[in-house]
Amino acid sequence: MAKLLEAQTVLKERYTVVSPIGQGGMGAVYRAEDMLLPGRICAVKEIAPSADMSTDLVTQLQEQFRREAEVLARLDHPNLPKVSDYFTQDGREYLIMDFVPGHDLRTLIDDARIAQHPLSEKQVLDWVHQLCNALAYMHAQEPPILHRDIKPSNIKLTPSGFIKLVDFGLVKLLTNDESRTVTVIQGRGTAAYTPLEQYGGDDAHTGIHSDIYALGATLYHLLTGKPPATARERFLNPDALIPPREINSQIAPHIERIIIAALALHPNERPQTIEMFREALERPGFIFPITPPNLDAQEWQTALQANLPLIIALVTLIVLAILITPL
């Protein structure tokens, strides 16, 4: 882990480090003052390559960090912190963004648990609606942008009541052009909020549905006070996921259905867009359409052969029903 910058360190002859906010992996986040704009407080995200990384890998990391910074600098949404600058100094990469005051939602969950009083469903749904606004905006970019690490500790509630999705450490461009995909500096997410398709190093199957899984897991945690069983645990034991209303009976039945749908292990069984997820929150009777699996010709042939006896039996029953039904 890289050594933290000392207080009063000046970056780019403009940003004075005040104190660290957090540290992990290959970098840290600092609170800093902008000397060019007196009174402005900003957050400085730092990526510091480890000493044992090869020159080629360091070069790749730097290129991908700058690519990510360029993408984030284009974003402008009230529920996302604004990225205003990025640069390299002393072999480390830096990203400057708005400092977001307030508490993260994980802290609020912990406070509610200590008080033995769950968070209000009305309040939680207001926060989630704001998250939906931010994610809909990100997913509407060209190409769409995935966050890939949505969780309560990456969401802050500002003193004015605004929700901010603050950590962009796992942003990924959703594109078939792998040369444009951020891979080196991203982690794998946090287990309780990570869908199966996001495990391992292959991002071929991640997509908007992956963010929806994490959003469903976050909603589960906010309303129950407990994170859901991980996707890996549920793959091995389908009964590992405790229905939310068994933990908090005050959760509305249709909200529980949305959470369970968003946490489906197979991506095709989840809501396919943030707009669909949001509509379900607002309409208790809303039914999610299921996307059929995308099979190639050989896979369809194999599936048909495997189910041929069942298909023949079904067709036979239909024919018999037609024959014996009076005209």
Which is higher by pLDDT, 6 or 318? 6
Q: Are residues 70 and 175 in the same domain?
A: no
pLDDT digits (tens, 9 = 90+) for 212-260: 999 999 999 999 999 999 999 999 999 999 999 999 999 999 999 999 9
pLDDT digits (tens, 9 = 90+) for 55-65: 888 888 888 78
**Domain termination site, one of 79, 98, 117:** 98
Confidence band of 51 (pLDDT split at 50, 70, 90): confident
Q: Are residues 119 and 29 in the same domain?
A: no
Q: Are residues 67 and 136 in the same domain?
A: no
User: What are the φ/ψ torsions at residue 83 (nearest 5 degrees)?
Assistant: -85, 125
Domain boundaries, position 130: 103-282
Judge contact between 147 and 211, C-beta under 8 A. yes
In a domain, 228, yes or no: yes
Q: Are residues 122 and 157 in the same domain?
A: yes
In a domain, 290, yes or no: no
The domain total for the chain is 3
Closest CA to 220 of 247, 239, 195, 194: 247
pLDDT digits (tens, 9 = 90+) for 187-201: 445 789 999 988 765
Q: Are residues 164 and 194 in the same domain?
A: yes
Give the number of other Cβ atoms within 10 Å of residue 122's Cβ: 7
In a domain, 289, yes or no: no
Q: Are residues 266 and 303 in the same domain?
A: no
Distant-in-sequence, close-in-space partners of 75: CB < 8 Å, separation ≥ 6: 82, 83, 137, 138, 141, 145
With a threshold of 0.85, does the pTM exceed it? no
Which percentage of the chain shows pLDDT scores above 90? 58
Active-site residue set: 149
Residue 24's beta-bridge partner residues? 27
In a domain, 2, yes or no: no
- pLDDT value for 187: 44
pLDDT digits (tens, 9 = 90+) for 164-184: 998 765 455 554 444 333 333
Take residue 109 and report the two structure tokens written for it: 């969950």
**Domain termination site, one of 260, 282, 304:** 282
In a domain, 59, yes or no: yes
DSSP per-residue codes, 36-100 = SSTT-EEEEEEE---TTS-HHHHHHHHHHHHHHHHHHHT---TTSPPEEEEEEETTEEEEEEE--
Judge contact between 250 and 218, C-beta under 8 A. no
